[in-house]
Amino acid sequence: MPTTMITGANRGLGLEFTRQYAADGWKVIATCRDPRAARDLAAVEGDVHVHALDVTDHDAVDALARTLRREAMDVLINNAGIHGPRPSQLGGIDYDAWAKVFEINAMAPLKVCESFADHVTAGEMKIMATISSRMGSISDNNSGASFIYRSSKAALNAVMKSLSVDLKGRGITVAVLHPGWVKTDMGGPSALIGVTDSVTGMRKVIGGLKVSDSGKFFNFDGTEIPW
């Protein structure tokens, strides 16, 4: 039975990843900051193991890695992330908030990958998938603004590209995924894509990844996105 670990699993994309993988018979290690408040996550049926984890608490990340040291993970999904203040425009930048968004969106995913690299190495599929955004693409930025969110995701993309090189010798495939504009708390009600369709698409991409795909940036429909 394959195993996946998902951060930020208490709502939105993370919750749907948990539901879908559990429904397909996977063992799911689902993490969130406060499991006691995660009623929807607790209600997911299947082989789901919920652990408390604040991805910005590096000691906690290391502690969970030790607790799960015997777990071989086929797919590690870095999903936890935030948008930050809106709007993020010239003359109104919250620089303290910017640092926090960077900590969560760009630094924490690397720490999770670093701490769980041995677990993924021990898995059969050996995949690290990180949820980013097309807004982190420099080539695709034609509308400007959104400085905080855009820069955090651009940094995340750079981090994962470097990680793909560093973990190549272990046979680990590192991929970055854009979920689309999804109807979540972050995406808002005007978004174009439902959570189920987004996650179904991303799971198909993840399931079809090859070692030669490591270091690439994919849309949820499988098309490649320019950096």
Residue 224 belongs to a domain: no
Helices (H) and strands (E) in the chain, counts: 8, 7
Specify if 72 maps to a domain: yes
pLDDT in tens, 66-80: 999 999 999 999 999
Asked if pLDDT for residue 137 goes beyond 70, the answer is yes
Query: Quick one: pLDDT at residue 101?
Result: 98
Mean of the pLDDT values across residues 51-59?
98
- Is 225 part of a structural domain of the chain? no
What is the pTM assigned to this prediction?
0.95
Q: What's the domain range around 139?
A: 3-219
Q: Examine residue 227 and state whether it is found in any structural domain, yes or no.
A: no
Q: How far apart are CA 126 and CA 211, in angstroms?
A: 9
pLDDT mean over 156-185: 95
Residue 226 lies in a domain: no
From the list 15, 78, 79, the residue with the least C-alpha distance to 50 is 15
**Residue 214's domain is classified under what CATH number?**
3.40.50.720
Helix/strand/coil for 103 = helix
Q: CA 123 → CA 18, 33, 93, 115, distances in Å?
A: 18, 25, 43, 15
pLDDT (0 to 100) of residue 187: 67
Domain assignment of residue 190, yes or no:
yes
77: part of which helix (H) or strand (E)?
strand 75-78
Q: pLDDT tens, 28-42?
A: 999 999 999 999 999
**Within 10 A of 45 (CB to CB), how many other CB atoms are there?**
8
Residue 27 placed within a domain: yes
Would you say residue 92 lies in a domain? yes
Tens of pLDDT along 176-221?
A: 999 998 877 766 677 678 999 999 999 999 999 999 999 999 999 9
Instruction: Look at the chain and report how many structural domains it folds into.
Output: 1
